[in-house]
Structure 1
Amino acid sequence: MAQASAAIAEAVGDACQPRKQSSRERMLAAAAAAFCANGYLAVTVDDIASSAGVSRMTFYRHFSGKAELAIELFKQNVIAWMPRFKAITQHRHLNAAIVQAWLEDLFAADRESGQLLRVFMQANAEGSGFTEVARELMGHLIRVLGEHIPAFALNPEAPADRKRWLEAWLLLYEILDQSNHSARGAKAAPDPLLIELLAERFLRFID
């Protein structure tokens, strides 16, 4: 994830500079709008290039195709979401109310990106690339938590840590999967009992 994260951070950092949008940024913005409005499958490279005001040649100078662009959007979405995930490391993570509030915020963030999450699901079903990025993301999330929460300070290559690392992976996967599922299925907040159950599992793991 290191190389991918560096690329995302660079792209996001560049976007914060007070300058005119680059062709690449315009294509990413145009694609996000088109995907959310019409679905991933219905949008073509020509649609994206035309909306961004660039030629097909310019498009292919930046992306090998629509799938690569969608993966880049996914990476940028992860970067934008990451501060909310890391927030639990700055609070009393053994406090049940704080953990539940953290989970509620994660679910709320996904609801805000509900349309884009559906796009990523469609893109993943049509092509490859998302699975590897998602796998790297899970390892990255465990490392982020492990910098502040001892229970997550695990080395997946160490035999003594392997089982606990997989337990951490499954725990975070369940949290993210339920959050994404809730965001894709409805705008309403999830059942409070689901948040409570996930918080209990998180607390059992770290205590």
Structure 2
Amino acid sequence: MTVLAKDMAEKPAGGRAAYLERRRAATRDGIVRAARQVFAEASYVDAKIDDILGAAGVSRATFYSHFESKLELASAIYEETVPQTRALFERLPLLARQDRSAVREWLADFVGIHLEHRYVTPLIAQLQLFETGFRARILADTEVLIDLVAGSGVDAFAKASTDDRQRIGVRLLFNQIAHVCAEVARGEFGVQSDICLDLVAEDIVRFVKPAA
């Protein structure tokens, strides 16, 4: 009897089931961590499942017991960022009603998310190009964010619930925010990053509190 088998045999039924579940979760996490590394070093198209298997140290059978495809694995990586992004956008309406400096700090936090998950932004862009249907997922998640801020009670966002023009305006604003914060995180603006974020902050405040 192996040490693992003996260890499992000595555990009560409930304990054994919990132990196996922890091992399964740890294996899944290991595959996801390996995939992050592989996707950071190669494009989504060029990254092979065999590369991920090698980085994770698991068999093909083990991989497919957790994920049906490379797309499902990539989508799981994207999913990890969703709660953090939603929590960030929950804060936006009230901050935007305050002043530009509060919004500017919020934008810096968004840049921080992009830096923390720097491999995800290019991965999402590639998924939208090469995987049919993933673009629809991104659009659906944007609609969720719009509904989230629409329930804040801030007029400019609340109107997005009933006014199509205002809803499109919010979507365009969110697209601008995401695009600029990603570019700043990648260092594309260099020393002008602060200017870019200041201008976006002004656009957000202007959207929430338009001139009379």
1:37-94 Cα distance to aligned partner (Å, 9 max, x none): 3343332112223433433233234333212211221121222333333333454633
Q: Which residue of 2 aligns with 1:178?
A: 180
TM-score (norm 2): 0.74
Go from structure 1 to structure 2 and tell me whether the alpha carbon gap of 1:154 and 1:206 turns closer, same or farther (over 3 Å shift). Answer: same
Structure 1 range deviating more: 30-39 or 180-189: 180-189
Q: Give the deviation of 1:31 after TM superposition.
A: 0.6
Q: Which runs of 5+ in 1 are unaligned?
A: 1-18
Q: CA RMSD for the aligned pairs?
A: 2.7
Larger gyration radius, structure 1 or structure 2: 2
The structure with higher relative contact order (CA 8 Å, sep 6+) is 1
Give the counterpart letter for 1:83 in structure 2: A
Partner Cα separation in structure 2 for residue 130 and residue 181 of structure 1: 22
Partner Cα separation in structure 2 for residue 164 and residue 187 of structure 1: 30
Q: Which residue of 2 aligns with 1:203?
A: 205
* Paired residue secondary structure (2:135): helix
Contact 2:96 2:208 (8 Å CA) reproduced:
no
Partner Cα separation in structure 1 for residue 124 and residue 59 of structure 2: 25
Q: Which runs of 5+ in 2 are unaligned?
A: 1-21
Q: Which residue of 1 aligns with 2:46?
A: 42
TM-score (norm 1): 0.76
Contact 2:96 2:205 (8 Å CA) reproduced:
no
Give the counterpart letter for 2:58 in structure 1: V
Partner Cα separation in structure 2 for residue 27 and residue 129 of structure 1: 24
Deviant stretches of 4+, over 3 Å: 19-23, 89-92, 184-190
Partner Cα separation in structure 2 for residue 144 and residue 22 of structure 1: 33
Identical counterparts, % of pairs = 27
Please tell me whether residue 105 in structure 1 is matched to residue 109 in structure 2.
Answer: yes
Give the counterpart letter for 1:55 in structure 2: S
Q: Which residue of 2 aligns with 1:4?
A: none
Give the counterpart letter for 1:45 in structure 2: I
Partner Cα separation in structure 2 for residue 39 and residue 190 of structure 1: 28
Q: Give the deviation of 1:164 after TM superposition.
A: 0.7
Q: 1:60 aligns with which of 58, 64, 68?
A: 64
Partner Cα separation in structure 2 for residue 179 and residue 56 of structure 1: 37
Q: Which residue of 1 aligns with 2:195?
A: 193
Q: Which residue of 2 aligns with 1:30?
A: 34
Q: Give the deviation of 1:185 after TM superposition.
A: 4.8
Contact 1:171 1:202 (8 Å CA) reproduced:
yes
1:123-146 Cα distance to aligned partner (Å, 9 max, x none): 333222331121012111112212
Go from structure 1 to structure 2 and tell me whether the alpha carbon gap of 1:189 and 1:154 turns closer, same or farther (over 3 Å shift). Answer: farther
Q: Which residue of 1 aligns with 2:158?
A: 153
Q: Give the deviation of 1:152 after TM superposition.
A: 1.2
Q: Which residue of 2 aligns with 1:166?
A: 168
Q: How many pairs were matched up?
A: 187
Partner Cα separation in structure 1 for residue 149 and residue 40 of structure 2: 31
